[in-house]
């Protein structure tokens, strides 16, 4: 009897353990909150694009859109649909394939950046040549380069891990590559996109373990380069002076015109806004209200409450990207982890710059608000980047279940 009791107890425990292990895992197959936050941001952006652009057909600049008040609404809805289809396709691509083709993607995007500058090929808008004409929309290669920079920097860091503490082999090749990107972007010109790409590359190299002394030195050099670019450009220098004193009459009517009207919009919004559709600044006072300055329209119509909701969603998105990256690195998937964090850096830096410009914290720069501003290339490549992030998380979940991605 003394032998039978422990035997029965042991068998019962073993059966319970086997039964527990045989139950289906409660872990979701993919990150549903990440998908929903992304979709909510795009739909929120769609509503605000419609609100900010509804009066544009009455402007002489958009006379060709007479009686087409829903033009930008329909275009943005089409961009969102195309972007979601592209994201669904990209999600099917394994992370290992992105790692394998990262250098070729980077080189191909460099070629597109050069193609933009060819007379008769690139499309020029407001003095900037940044687009390639396609039948469905105009392609902006600088948006694709942000993804290419994330993947290339992550792949470079993994391949050169043993040289991360050396300047010639660990940092110089990346500096040359980003220098080529910068040269092409400054010829467009697009200093804002160049700044975002530099932040992506530097952030991934820092996370990858680059020598902190070299990192600090190169960071200081980059600051000096950006200051020199601004100082040597009369247009950028005038914009910087206007930023420092936007309410001076000469500045308020010229280089600081957008900034002052953006600040007026936030001031009118107060805590809860003047109501959806009630913005006055969007009525031809605030230029580019549906693209670069959509946050000002949100601040005016929905107030501080609406602004905080948008900030909270972007904060969650960036934090989730870093959480996914940390999980991938814990599973010995260094490339996937660095790529996930690079996507977080990209979304976070671009959001910060756009909001900083709208709020007067940073000098005026032409950068859209990810997922929300009007534009085909911006929304599509934001969705593609987040689809890669979702794929990284999916493969993390497969590995945590003990499967093979």
Select the more confidently predicted residue: 372 or 238: 372
What is the rounded CA–CA span in Å between residue 405 and residue 399?
7
Q: State the pTM of this model.
A: 0.89
Comparing CA positions, the residue from 103, 89, 220 lying closest to residue 156 is 103
Give the model's pLDDT for residue 404.
64
Tell me the pLDDT tens digit for each residue of 72-84: 999 999 999 999 9
Is 22's pLDDT higher than 70?
Answer: no
Give the model's pLDDT for residue 27.
66
Sheet holding 128-133, edge to edge: 123-125, 128-133, 138-139
Is 260's pLDDT higher than 50?
Answer: yes
Give the model's pLDDT for residue 322.
97
Comparing CA positions, the residue from 400, 328, 382 lying closest to residue 143 is 382
Region of poorest pLDDT, from 116-120, 125-129, 345-349, 389-393: 125-129
The helix/strand/coil state of 282 is coil
Give the model's pLDDT for residue 3.
41
Q: Tell me: cis bond preceding 189? Omega within 30 of 0 counts.
A: yes
Give the model's pLDDT for residue 359.
93
CB-based burial of residue 175 (10 Å sphere; 0-12 exposed, 13-18 middle, 19+ buried)? middle
- Mean pLDDT, rounded, for 188-212: 88
Give the model's pLDDT for residue 34.
96
| Domain residue ranges in the chain | 32-400
Is 141's pLDDT higher than 90?
Answer: yes
- Mean pLDDT, rounded, for 146-162: 93
Distances (CA, A) of 3 to 16, 17, 48, 206: 21, 22, 75, 62
The greatest distance separating any two alpha carbons of the chain, rounded to the nearest whole angstrom, comes to 100
Give the model's pLDDT for residue 2.
45
- Mean pLDDT, rounded, for 31-44: 96
């Amino acid at each position: 009897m003394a032998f039978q009791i422990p035997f029965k107890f042991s068998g019962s425990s073993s059966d319970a353990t086997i039964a527990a292990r045989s139950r289906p895992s409660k872990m979701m197959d993919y990150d549903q909150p990440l998908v929903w936050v992304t979709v909510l941001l795009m739909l929120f952006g769609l509503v605000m694009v419609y609100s900010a652009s509804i009066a544009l057909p009455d402007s002489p600049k958009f006379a060709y859109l007479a009686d087409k008040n829903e033009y930008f609404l329909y275009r943005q809805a089409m961009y969102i649909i195309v972007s979601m289809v592209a994201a669904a396709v990209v999600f099917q691509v394994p992370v290992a394939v992105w790692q394998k083709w990262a250098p070729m993607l980077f080189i191909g995007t460099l070629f597109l950046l050069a193609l933009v500058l060819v007379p008769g090929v690139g499309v020029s808008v407001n003095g900037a040549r940044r687009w390639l004409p396609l039948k469905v929309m105009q392609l902006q290669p600088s948006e694709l380069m942000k993804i290419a920079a994330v993947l290339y920097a992550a792949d470079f860091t993994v391949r050169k891990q043993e040289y991360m503490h050396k300047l010639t082999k660990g940092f110089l090749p990346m500096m040359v590559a980003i220098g080529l990107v910068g040269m092409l972007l400054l010829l467009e010109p697009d200093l804002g996109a160049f700044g975002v790409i530099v932040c992506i590359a530097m952030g991934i190299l820092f996370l990858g373990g680059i020598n902190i002394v070299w990192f600090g030195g190169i960071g200081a050099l980059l600051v000096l380069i950006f200051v020199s670019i601004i100082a040597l450009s009369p247009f950028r220098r005038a914009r910087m002076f206007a930023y420092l004193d936007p309410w001076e009459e000469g500045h308020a009517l010229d280089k600081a015109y957008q900034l002052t009207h953006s600040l007026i919009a936030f001031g009118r919004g107060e805590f809860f806004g003047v109501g959806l559709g009630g913005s006055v600044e969007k009525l031809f006072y605030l230029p580019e209200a549906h693209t670069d300055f959509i946050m000002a329209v949100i601040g005016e119509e929905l107030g501080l409450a609406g602004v905080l909701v948008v900030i909270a969603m972007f904060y969650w998105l960036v934090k989730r990207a870093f959480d996914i990256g940390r999980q991938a690195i814990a599973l010995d998937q260094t490339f996937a982890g660095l790529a996930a964090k690079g996507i977080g850096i990209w979304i976070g830096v671009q959001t910060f710059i756009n909001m900083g410009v709208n709020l007067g914290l940073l000098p005026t720069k032409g950068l859209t608000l990810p997922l929300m501003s009007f534009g085909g290339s911006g929304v599509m490549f934001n969705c593609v980047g987040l689809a890669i992030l979702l794929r990284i998380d999916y493969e993390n979940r497969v590995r945590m279940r003990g499967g093979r991605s």
